[in-house]
Structure 1
């Protein structure tokens, strides 16, 4: 996988590695993590994109978060552990973390993806966060990768301790809306992308016909929950 990085790109990656708090032995892992499929497809030569690293990073995320929850929530039953993990390691959270780390600024994108706002697209940010985790794992090993995941997800773990993370946003939204006579809630699938083993669904939620929220997730239920959460945030701002 050895590639010669330009001096400018090497400096960019060193700056990102410093911001991540990880001292990479091989910056090419990080370069691959930041290479979108659109860039690889449009480039001449054998450019490796980040999908395989994304696959690996997803597994590291799941095991690291599962380990933390198992160790720090000893009274929580298996079913609730699964729900808590799904709520923490979700598309919206990972995209938020990627945005906070400015990973989108470092992405290598094809022209169409760049023009279409790919640097801020939630699915791209989620994918690149997972890919960076995969790169850290390959370069630094399990312990460093696990510690990094836990450090990034710590605010979500703290929310789980307070019980805030397990709210059923769809039920809360429905109860709030139905307090007002004549209002109703409906959900609409507006986008479906990705291969069968890694689907991403985007739903909009409407309150009496007006779009009030949108959410993306690996399942339709997860996407609807994120849409409902966004709608609740908007209602509470009024």
Structure 2
């Protein structure tokens, strides 16, 4: 009887939380689901397991997100929103073009290092050939602002003669993403293959500086880097 009473109380607390803070409940579900999808993929994640780790229930998950694919897409959108929100907070408009580019690269490297679940979810979505992102106008709109930020930075650098002509802001974004993404996606395999801890603090500091240097050499003129 005591166990039954405790279960009833827990269910009551969950119901009360849902009623008082539906947005908080949805965010809690997305956070837990993101970890499950990152660990097990779309096919391996289980709604029962997600519900058990949240303040909600299986029924409420279906109510908010429709089905597992809807929850997966919401988790993807949330992951992309997190990185774009961080970029939006960067005051690179107040920096010189070279310093602004450095800061953007540093931020991307640090963000990906600190958000491994984001990298895993992007890898999973690539396994699905981007078919779920194709459904999302939210992510497309978020990425438009990301490219616009790089375009503004690049055009400022061109105007003052610091950056090379003929570069595509989208391709600059690609190069930054590629270097920072690989740092997380292939860290474990590189560490095993070459018997070196690529996740160690000193190695991460070197890799981040290397990434900054490579992007600067790609975008900026030699005299701008020396300056």
State whether TM-score is above 0.5: no
Q: Greater CA radius of gyration, 1 or 2? A: 2
Give the strand-richer structure, 1 or 2.
Answer: 1
What TM-score results when the alignment is normalised by the length of structure 2? Answer: 0.33
Give the helix-richer structure, 1 or 2.
Answer: 2
What TM-score results when the alignment is normalised by the length of structure 1? Answer: 0.31
